[in-house]
Amino acid sequence: MTQNSPPDDSADRTYHRRTMLTGAGSIALGGLIGSSGVTSATPGRDPGPKKDEIIVGIDPDADDVAAKARAAVPGDAEVVHSNETIRYAVVSFPSAASDHAREEFIEAITRSPAVEYAEPNVTVQSLLTPDDPYYDSQHAPQQIGCERAWETTRGSSDVVISVIDQGIQYDHPALESVVDDRIGEDFADDDGDPYPATDEDHGTHVGGIAAGGTDDGTGHAGISDCSLLSARALDETGQGSLSDIVDAIQWSADAGADIVNLSLGVDGSYETMRSACEYAADRGVLLVAAAGNSGTDRVFSPASEDTVVAVSALADDDSIASFSNTGPEIELAAPGNRLVSSVTGDGYARMSGTSMASPVVAGVAGLALSAYPDLTRSELRHHLRETAVDVGLGETEQGDGRVDAARAVETDPFGDGETGSGESGADSTSQCGDETVTASADGSLDGSGWWGESDRYDYALQTADPCSITVSLEGPSSGDFNLYVTTDGRSPGRWDHDEASTGSGTTESVTFALEGGEDLGLQVHAKSGSGEYTLRLEERGR
């Protein structure tokens, strides 16, 4: 295994043909991505990094993604791969060409009205810091309270965790009892078998942390006994192309995975990755990813995406691991130093890295979902954060704290009598208090394009003791405008408190309880149609 380091071209190298509308108030740039279709893989492509390729995002109205890409590509460049679901094509580009020639090539492509963006097919790397190949005893399950959690559940086989990595040795004695009957898919070699080669230990180690036969007299104990799917997208060096990772995310979502673990990353931000993560999140998948191992205050992608739970690594004394990346995107921390798990050849080893911390969180998510199967994706994410333990680190190091299996399983997320609605109803909040504060904003959006347009707002609570808030949206009669809200200040996405609205007199309203201290993030998104809208808030306090 190679130690992680940022790729040579680590900056955000996405080129956009269009910009997003900025609305009134404190608004961030943003947009939502829609996609349809199925993956079209190209046989015979080599596994691993694909540095001589460019990803081209295609308009959803195109009947044939590859054909539109060919029409947009100048010269003799070849379209070597396409994905109809995430709406992109991959174009080969001569490795000997200069950087200036590459930039001119991309600029020429993005002049086509069918092209939404173009970006390099960057190399994504496993986030592992290798350690001695032996084990004595485990500490991660004890550190996060698994023994107590296992008294309630060891994990249901109905809960599926997909591990996007080097592939899992699915006949390993410690894993064969929890591997899903479908086993998985191979995106690195394209041969249909996600079995790793000898010494490709990373995926088997990661999978064994998230799930592995517990109390079965064999090997180690995984965090859960949930079902494992193996999506092989990294080669023998622990590297893979952005397009292979994206295809694996889409496949995992379509295969019905509840949780996807991504113990890999790349420095920078890429539209194709964002699109794939949005696609999975919209289908109810909780994505969990490693923050990175460069020891810097910068969270790698995909962990940095709004749709993904970013995980930092802790030592066994709950201090931040020296190699762990940190940053404002961190949501949870987990043990990641010298964790014992399975490796290829029916063996076991200690490994360290945020690669190891991420599947700890994925495994705890599996336990929580096993205990409370009615949890939605956003509720599960919130529940993990609410039950995390503050270990005294800064928010950029631990987020909401160290994940805790016992608290996640023993704390009823529906203790207020709700049963997984995804949001609080108006009945429980309408009588909470007499103090009211109102606010409003107006804007205009066009939803006729693939991206549509979005306005994002921030709102700081104003009442002395906030107890509920109602957010209402009035859109144009001919449009489909959606409202998304978060209560922790995050930039919202389509999984957050959405009330869809379509048709004449488009209106929608969402009311939910507040516990005080929250700040709101709001997004108005034009899915179709265009015109002016009004956003209103009514905050109540005791």
The encoded tokens of residue 432 equal 């909470």
352 is catalytic: no
Rounded Cα distance between 310 and 465, Å, is: 31
Please state, as a whole number, how many other Cβ atoms lie within 10 Å of the Cβ of residue 158.
11
Per-residue DSSP letter, 341: E
Residue 334 backbone phi and psi in degrees, to 5: -155, 155
Tell me whether residue 324 is one of the annotated catalytic residues: no
Q: State how far the Cα of 336 lies from the Cα of 352, in Å rounded to an integer.
A: 5
Please count the other Cβ atoms lying within 10 Å of the Cβ belonging to residue 346.
14
156 phi, psi to nearest 5 deg: -90, 140
Tell me how far apart the alpha carbons of residues 229 and 377 are, in angstroms, rounded to a whole number: 18
Q: Which phi and psi (to 5°) does residue 141 adopt?
A: -60, -40
Q: Is the dihedral of CA 37, 43, 47, 52 positive or negative?
A: negative
**Catalytic: which of 355, 370, 424, 491?**
355
* CB within 8 Å of 347: residues ≥ 6 apart: 133
Catalytic-residue membership of 95: no
How far apart are the C-alpha atoms of 267 and 8, rounded to whole Å?
A: 10
Write down the catalytic residue from 82, 126, 162, 165: 165
What is the DSSP code string of 422-485? Answer: SS--GGGTTTS-SEEEEEEEEEEEE--SSS-EEEEEEEE--SSSEEEEEEEEE--TT-EEEEEE
Angle at 387 between CA 382 and CA 388, to 5 degrees: 100
What string of DSSP letters covers 249-270?
A: HHHHHHTT-SEEEE-EEBSS--
Counted residue by residue, the chain has a size of 542
Active-site residue, from 202, 205, 220, 382: 202
∠ CA 154-157-159, rounded to 5°: 95
Catalytic center residues: 165, 202, 355
